[in-house]
Chain A
């Protein structure tokens, strides 16, 4: 029979290997330079009021995104805020609601486009991306399904 300490050593090695693979794989996550992506150096914060909501395809072969137009409270400057795929939100946004947005600003022509990372809304903080801009909605579709049928 295999000694107990040996079996434990094998398990520990397997766990270390797993963590190594996971950590290593995480390192391959990279941005595609030609694509529209989250730039952490251009991060801004603002509070505002929702003026318009649409669902619009942005990325090829991906679900349409929820896009909201927000007027900043202090300056009344208008931002187009890209939130996430529409299925991610069970939160329902309406015109006139106030919220606080943290995200990366890209100026395209006269359009101030913000890729949202975090939204404070009705006493909740919705984390759309992590601080490096990686989407937080991935892997969560099963949760949506459970909520809807539960």
Chain B
């Protein structure tokens, strides 16, 4: 903790001495009654401290941000993430522009979760163009490379999105988006070198057994589950490819109320997850779960209202139906039930936000009800968070 404090202090002072254009400090406090998002609910509280700064050099911006998160009941899951990058906007004409960015990231977890540690590189190219005054075309290409301490997670991915919208005089906006993605696990097979030598790790038969945190491993429930990767032959099952199409209808009601209804359908084109099961943690990135890991659909709605005293309120309700290719539902002992894992999730979210001249405050609540044919992931949970963001500006006022 002391070490991180000193790092943050050093970065802050350097940011100022290097005449950063701006500095943003924020504090976030979250709480949940189901940190590991499974049928063994565990309460925890997360405190996060973040800073972000940027500096402009002849149109190129250098930006950095750091985030330290501490979990009170699971301090071994505390982590620090540092980003450093640069970006540039290239105008084509008065209606179109390119945006380029290159970002490096380092994520560092405490003890038990240090296998999640990674360094990453992301390159992003975006293009936005007004086809007409009522229609916008946008496209993105993203390349991402992640190198984990536990090298079985290492991957490189490509993503392309193209969207087109059209605004009608009825104050209705229609938008459609097509996305394609490919994720390639660089070496999802077991080798002597790839197996971390830790106390909570052992190999048995064809699986690598692993225990994470207080809610995982042999201690807290009967039996335990094989985790991480199924051993694969080199070159087999390394790539996952999916495609999705989504649509959105947005309706403005005056300038104080907005309503959105959206839907997305995603298909897996090739490849399967190389894990034995997939898990998500509240506010903590888990390498087994991301947008490549599922196929299915989601539908959602969102109401946005600007209330008196300029308080913004958002209320949304979403339903997700997901199947995880390559992931079989398991029983309590970790034995396969012979069916692919299938989840149906209902998610209600409410958020209020108030912006003051120098800082902004927010409060949010969400409730998730997740039904799964894998009983381990048949769960529900409440998530409450609050935060404050403080903006500091340096240099000239434009």
Could you list which residues of chain A lie within 8 angstroms of chain B, going by C-beta atoms? 11, 14, 18, 21-22, 25-26, 28-32, 35-38, 47, 52-57, 59, 61-64, 85-87, 92, 94-100, 120-125, 127, 130-136, 138-143, 145, 148-149
Contacts and interface: CB of A to CB of B under 8 A. Distances in A.
B393 A32 contact: no
A36 B101 CA distance: 28
B396 A55 contact: no
B263 interface: no
B52 A61 contact: no
B358 interface: yes
Interface of B: 5, 9, 12-13, 16, 20-24, 52-54, 56-59, 61, 63, 65, 83, 85, 87, 89, 91, 94-97, 99, 101, 103, 122, 124, 126, 128, 130, 132-136, 140, 142, 144, 159, 161, 165, 167, 169, 171, 173, 250, 252-258, 303-306, 310, 312, 355, 357-358, 360, 391-398
B355 A127 contact: yes
B293 to A, nearest CB: 14
A122 B255 contact: yes
A92 B256 contact: no
Given A26-B394, A131-B357, A53 B133 contact: yes
Contacts of B12: 18, 22
B193 to A, nearest CB: 30
A115 to B, nearest CB: 8
Contact of A142 (B59, B65, B173, B355): B65
- Could you tell me the dominant secondary structure of chain B's interface residues? strand
B126 A139 contact: no
Given A21-B13, A52-B133, A56-B94, A142 B103 contact: yes
Contacts of B103: 142, 145
Contact of B52 (A11, A59, A136, A142): A142
Given A18-B9, A30-B397, A95 B255 contact: no
25 contacts: A21-B16, A26-B392, A30-B396, A31-B396, A31-B397, A37-B396, A53-B133, A55-B95, A55-B97, A57-B91, A86-B91, A87-B87, A87-B99, A94-B167, A96-B134, A120-B306, A120-B310, A123-B255, A127-B355, A131-B357, A136-B391, A140-B52, A141-B101, A148-B124, A148-B142
A95 B134 CA distance: 5
A139 B355 contact: no
Contact of B101 (A38, A139, A145): A145
Given A138-B21, A138-B54, 6 more contacts: A37-B396, A61-B59, A62-B56, A127-B355, A142-B52, A142-B83
A136 B225 CA distance: 48
A70 to B, nearest CB: 12
Contacts of B258: 122-124
Given A29-B393, A139-B23, A37 B140 contact: no
